Structure 1
């Protein structure tokens, strides 16, 4: 098994373990996305060290692949794609057709494959966390108000939770990068930069929801931020 295939196998195994563990708050789930970044960064360091020692030239392959199908893509998936792309040496971009949108990642083959896996895992994990939070919120709201919250109110509170989760994940990635000194390691490869530039994509408008500034909205954002940032620092090398 090639080195990159070994890395991908371990990332898939780790994320599948966390995803299928049944408990979204388990240690496996909390460390999965950080470990995926660690695998990629450490493998990148090793490849640089090997190249420096042997002066060998390796053929690089750029992968441009989709992480979603064409759909009415939610604002938060676009935001999550940006965070994942920045932390896995990839570009994330949107492809639109007949009112539907799909999200893609472009990077060196191994980096893009890991980014797609991490994006899929994070998407599922956000949905589970938001569902659990909203279940408790609706119950508390009914007890306090005597009625169920409106659909629009629930959507607003849920969006705040999701935005907080993504912000928390981004902050945790930044802490890991700073702690490990991975700033240069996570720089996009020159071939990826040129390939993306040659695509000459049109820059679209960024889409974000309007954050609810109510007390409920602030509580939801804080809980989401805590959950997104709740990944423990990964220790050890799974090689």
Structure 2
């Protein structure tokens, strides 16, 4: 078995040993999604000599198989149909960029498609997908109704601008009082909404994590007495820098290709037109930014925001202990839609407190709690604020059954040698 960690590495091997996909678009999509979820794939034969070569995931499940190319006739046929093959490949990459739930693989597929179009002079009309225009356009809640911080709004604006969705806010009054709370909404195609929301939640976690680390490091390094005003000033300055760095990073990724090829326009026309009609009566909200009072914090935030890769492994890329206490949700197989709190992490394995609300229709009202152990590379995303709130409510519940299950699960987690 040979371990491969990138799509480029696989295609170089295929070119070297003269392999081809059995089903181009389907195989490429499966491979990219597996790489996004697990970080690697495995080739069945490390010598690449078999007529049929199976690719497998980290759990040994088959992803697809490759076949050996044959003789001069096939080579001639490939040359004659080269343009059409590249067109199909570009279409596949563009489809993957829309369909993938992984921010990293989606962006990689999109950029690869643009490079192929430039390299082989592919006409834009040859790769346009009429199915896209027929895809449903809708909206998605990104936060719960709450008092939104300025940086939550700014992050929503940045993500929307770079991930093919529009952003707006809805307001609601609670308890018959004059207190109004708001929530962030994304508007666009279904797959784009999923990707944009996941990217927002990931960037949200990464930003808060690094701002906290910066503040703790400063107090420890200089031995200062903690002051609330200075802590808030450091945090605000750091986050302003972080968001600016993030915005610059995204702009740099798309600006060159935008100039070179018009297909790089990210916002779908159909989404823009429908949004313009829907938002005709919307009020305009101006974000009230705090002043940058700690220049060093701003500069450090800017550097981090511009340089970080924003994949799921970003929060503690080598030190997984930073994941402890986070709430996550699984997205594959029998674990799909299970929520968990990360209790501890050791040797790339997470000790988890699971909240099962999927076993039966009444599970949301009467969830089951138990312990579990999974690899940090298993497919998961950070839980939405709604589910974090539900999970924490049960952790504080007076229900004896729930507390007994939670206590037993936590004991089991702590028995594991760390």
What TM-score does the superposition give when structure 2 sets the normalisation length? 0.43
For 1:63 and 1:14, locate their aligned partners in 2 and report how far apart those are by CA, in whole Å. 26
Alignment of 1:52-91 (within 5 A): 52-53=125-126, 57-58=130-131, 59-91=134-166
Q: Which residue does the alignment assign to 2:329?
A: none
Say whether residues 1:202 and 2:282 are aligned partners.
Answer: yes
Deviations along 1:144-192, whole A, 9 cap, x unmatched? x5x22x2122111101101111100110111111233476423322211
Decide whether the 8 Å contact of 1:89 with 1:189 is kept in 2.
yes
1:80–1:42 CA distance, 2 compared to 1 (3 A)? farther
Report the alpha carbon displacement of residue 209 of structure 1 after superposing the two structures with TM. Answer: 2.9
Q: Which residue does the alignment assign to 1:120?
A: 201
For 2:161 and 2:249, locate their aligned partners in 1 and report how far apart those are by CA, in whole Å. 13
Q: Which residue does the alignment assign to 1:212?
A: 292
Decide whether the 8 Å contact of 2:33 with 2:105 is kept in 1.
no
Decide whether the 8 Å contact of 2:240 with 2:292 is kept in 1.
no
Which 10-residue stretch deviates more, 33-42 or 183-192?
33-42
Unaligned runs of 5+ in 1: 18-31, 235-239
Which one has the bigger strand percentage? 2
Q: Which residue does the alignment assign to 1:229?
A: 306
Among candidates 140, 150, 155, match of residue 232 of structure 2: 155
Decide whether the 8 Å contact of 1:41 with 1:185 is kept in 2.
no
Flag as ranges the 4+ runs of structure 1 deviating above 3 A.
Answer: 13-17, 32-46, 49-57, 179-184
Report the alpha carbon displacement of residue 97 of structure 1 after superposing the two structures with TM. Answer: 0.9
Report the alpha carbon displacement of residue 212 of structure 1 after superposing the two structures with TM. Answer: 3.1
For 1:55 and 1:87, locate their aligned partners in 2 and report how far apart those are by CA, in whole Å. 20
1:56–1:116 CA distance, 2 compared to 1 (3 A)? closer
Q: Which residue does the alignment assign to 1:178?
A: 255
Decide whether the 8 Å contact of 1:75 with 1:207 is kept in 2.
yes
For 1:189 and 1:135, locate their aligned partners in 2 and report how far apart those are by CA, in whole Å. 43
Deviations along 1:45-64, whole A, 9 cap, x unmatched? 99xx7993488732122131
1:71–1:166 CA distance, 2 compared to 1 (3 A)? same
For 1:197 and 1:55, locate their aligned partners in 2 and report how far apart those are by CA, in whole Å. 23
Structure of greater Rg:
2
The aligned length equals 206
For 1:15 and 1:74, locate their aligned partners in 2 and report how far apart those are by CA, in whole Å. 31
2:264 aligns to what SS in structure 1? coil
1:231–1:107 CA distance, 2 compared to 1 (3 A)? same
Which structure is richer in relative contact order (CA contacts within 8 A, separation 6 or more)? 1
Among candidates 187, 190, 195, match of residue 269 of structure 2: 190
For 1:45 and 1:65, locate their aligned partners in 2 and report how far apart those are by CA, in whole Å. 32
1:229 aligns to what SS in structure 2? helix
Which one has the bigger helix percentage? 1
Decide whether the 8 Å contact of 2:36 with 2:104 is kept in 1.
no
For 2:135 and 2:114, locate their aligned partners in 1 and report how far apart those are by CA, in whole Å. 13
CA RMSD after TM alignment: 3.4
1:228 aligns to what SS in structure 2? helix
